[in-house]
Structure 1
Amino acid sequence: MYCYTCSDIVKEFKKHDKKPDKYIKHWSAIKPKTGVPYTIDIGYERFLGPEIFFNPEIYSADFSTPLPELIDRCVLSAPIDTRRALYKNIVLSGGSTMFKDFHKRLQSDIKKIVDERVAATNAHHRVEVRPIEVNVVAHPIQSYAVWFGVQ
């Protein structure tokens, strides 16, 4: 409800440190069993939660491959003639993809990986590989898309 995906984690920390009152949200509820009201302050957690998809090493050293890199590896494992179409149609599905601006961050990170590979290929082989379009599709019902089969 309060979380969002940031484009640059360092800038986000600075922004929160500079004006904490502006960015800290307060959540109030009542404990179901006791009926006692309580309030929680949510600060850095707002952007650190979704950041685990892009920097998993902040959670555990056992997991170090970011989601954009996993998606890139998956596309590269597909037949070569289908890769451009796959990069153009990355569809999000599931509740964890519903964070604000998640699709924008995922698209920019995958685009960065792909552009670096194209530039390296162009430089190494002295050929002109045309740019690859990357498009991450965010759908209004993406939290239920797996059941609907959204394409």
Structure 2
Amino acid sequence: MSSDLQWLLLRVRLNNNSFVVKRVVEGPVFSKEPGNLRNLHSYKFSGLANAKTLDITDSPSGVQITARKTKAVAGAVKTAYAKSSIRPRSGSRRAQGIVSQYAKRGYRPDLRTAALARVSALVAAQKEPKPTLPKKIRGKKAKAIEASPE
């Protein structure tokens, strides 16, 4: 089935699509489908309608990038996907390298910025936050503590 026909069926069944999220009546329509990098319900970002999709998810071992192989057999689900992972502390340069590899091979180069933004956000979310330092006492309270003999 062609990707245009798949999108047409997804678009017509807007009220019956389990991935569609409508928050505001006149606002944007979001999507929770796998492979949708911007989470927008549009043909360009659809992970179901396009033959080439990148699914970037959070995993315990870091960020996992799953790409659908275009020439995979329809029945072979496990071998139809190529997976690569980014360790949590590897940084944005590693993420940029992996995303650029897919774009250079002609694998949806139009989604390079969306994929890099998703990977960078997930890597940043996995970093441990810096500990908050206790606030220093300043002004009149600090002078009162210094002046008081203990």
**Do both proteins adopt the same fold according to a TM-score greater than 0.5, normalized to the shorter chain?**
no
The TM-score normalised by the length of structure 2 is 0.33
Query: More strand by proportion, 1 or 2?
Result: 2
Q: Which one has more relative contact order, counting CA pairs under 8 Å at least 6 apart?
A: 1
The TM-score normalised by the length of structure 1 is 0.33
Query: More helix by proportion, 1 or 2?
Result: 1
